[in-house]
C-alpha cells in the first residue's frame, strides 16, 4: 500500500509506516491503536513523570507526525491537552488518517502543513511540551538539529516546559547534537539510556527546575501504567542503574 512516497506494511498484527525505504517511521498494533508500539516512543513519554498531573501537559507541539502514535496517545489519555502537529509532507497526514486512525478533531488536535524549523522560529505560541521526531526517507533531520532550531524551541516553552527529541542512534551525530542542545538550554539537557532498538532520546528544560526522586518516578510509572497501559518502568530502571552511587534524584 502506498501514498506518494509513503509505504505501509503489516506483519503479525502490527502496521508499519515507511518513507520509501526499510527504515520504520512509525508503527501501530491494529488491535490497540492508542498504544505506543515502538519502545522509543514510550521512552519519549518519560516527560509525563517529570511534570506529573492529569492536566499536564496542557499545550503540546509535535514536530513530525509519522504514524501519529504520540499525538494519539496524548489525545486519548490527556483530554485537557491541546495538541498541535507540524508535518512538512501532506502525504504523511493522509497516511496517518487512512491507516493509523489519526483522530479528526481540529479543536483538540490541529495539523499544520509546514516546516518545523520555520514554524518554531515564527510562532508566538508557547507550549508545555515540544516533541521532535522528524526524519526524511534517509533518516536525516536537516534543520531540526541546529542551534537556531533549539534556541527557538527553548523560546517557545512555558515556565514548566520540556523539550524531547529522538536522535535515532549514537552513530548519527549524537555528541554534536547534544552539544548544540546544551548551548541552547544552558546545559540543562539529559541523554536517556538507549532502548533496545538503538534509538537515543534527549531531554531539555528551560524554566522551572525538574527535581524528582527515582522512587517518585517509579510510583508515578506504576500509576501511569494502571491509567493508560503505558509501562515506563523499564526506562526508570535504566535511569536508576545510571544513577547508582551518584544520586537518587533526577534533575534537569
Backbone angles phi, psi at 49, to 5 degrees: -90, -15
Q: What does the pLDDT read at residue 53?
A: 81
Are 46 and 137 a contacting pair, CB within 8 Å? no
In angstroms, the CA 100 to CA 85 distance is 15
Q: What does the pLDDT read at residue 9?
A: 95
Q: What does the pLDDT read at residue 2?
A: 37
Closest listed residue to residue 73, CA positions, set 182, 229, 193, 207: 229
In angstroms, the CA 56 to CA 29 distance is 26
Q: Which domains does the chain have, with CATH numbers?
A: 2-209 (3.40.50.150)
DSSP 8-state code for residue 80: T
Which triple of cell numbers denotes residue 223? 500509576
> What's the distance, Cα to Cα, between the start and end of the chain in Å?
43
Which triple of cell numbers denotes residue 238? 535504566
In angstroms, the CA 108 to CA 162 distance is 20
DSSP string computed for 103-168: ---TTTEEEEES-HHHHHHH----EEEEEE----TTS--GGGGSHHHHHHHHHTEEEEEEEEEE--
In angstroms, the CA 101 to CA 90 distance is 16
Q: What does the pLDDT read at residue 135?
A: 76
* Each residue's pLDDT tens digit, 59-72: 999 999 999 999 99
pLDDT beneath 70, residues of the chain: 1-4, 136-139, 169-172, 243-246
Q: What does the pLDDT read at residue 5?
A: 82
Backbone angles phi, psi at 88, to 5 degrees: -80, -25
Say if strands 6-11 and 2-3 run parallel, antiparallel, or are unpaired.
antiparallel
With vertex at residue 46, the alpha carbon angle to CA 175 and CA 28, rounded to the nearest 5 degrees, is: 95
- Alpha-carbon Rg for the chain, nearest whole angstrom, is 17
Which triple of cell numbers denotes residue 2? 502506498
In angstroms, the CA 93 to CA 103 distance is 11
DSSP 8-state code for residue 3: E
Q: What does the pLDDT read at residue 248?
A: 85
Q: What does the pLDDT read at residue 1?
A: 37
Amino acid at each position: 500500500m502506498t501514498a506518494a512516497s509513503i509505504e505501509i506494511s503489516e506483519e503479525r498484527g502490527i502496521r508499519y509506516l515507511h518513507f520509501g525505504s526499510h527504515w520504520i517511521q512509525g508503527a501501530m498494533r491494529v488491535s490497540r491503536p492508542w498504544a505506543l508500539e515502538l519502545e522509543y516512543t514510550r521512552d519519549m513519554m518519560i516527560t509525563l513523570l517529570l511534570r506529573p498531573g492529569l492536566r499536564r501537559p496542557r499545550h503540546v507541539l509535535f514536530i513530525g507526525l509519522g504514524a501519529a502514535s504520540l499525538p494519539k496517545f496524548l489525545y486519548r489519555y490527556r483530554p485537557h491537552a491541546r495538541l498541535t502537529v507540524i508535518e512538512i509532507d501532506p502525504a504523511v497526514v493522509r497516511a496517518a488518517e487512512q491507516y493509523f486512525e489519526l483522530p479528526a478533531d481540529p479543536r483538540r488536535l490541529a495539523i499544520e502543513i509546514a516546516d518545523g524549523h520555520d514554524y518554531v522560529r515564527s510562532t508566538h505560541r508557547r507550549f508545555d511540551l515540544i516533541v521532535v521526531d522528524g526524519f526524511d526517507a534517509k533518516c536525516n533531520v536537516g534543520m531540526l538539529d541546529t542551534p537556531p532550531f533549539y534556541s527557538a524551541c527553548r523560546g517557545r516553552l512555558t515556565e514548566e516546559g520540556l523539550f524531547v527529541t529522538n536522535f535515532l542512534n549514537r552513530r548519527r551525530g549524537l555528541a554534536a547534537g547534544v552539544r548544540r542542545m546544551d548551548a541552547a538550554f544552558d546545559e540543562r539537557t539529559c541523554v536517556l539510556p538507549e532502548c533496545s532498538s538503538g534509538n537515543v532520546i534527549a531531554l531539555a528544560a528551560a524554566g522551572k527546575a525538574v527535581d524528582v526522586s527515582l522512587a517518585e518516578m517509579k510510583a508515578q510509572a506504576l500509576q501511569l501504567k494502571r491509567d493508560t497501559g503505558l509501562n515506563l518502568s523499564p526506562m526508570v530502571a535504566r535511569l536508576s542503574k545510571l544513577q547508582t552511587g551518584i544520586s537518587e534524584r533526577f534533575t534537569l
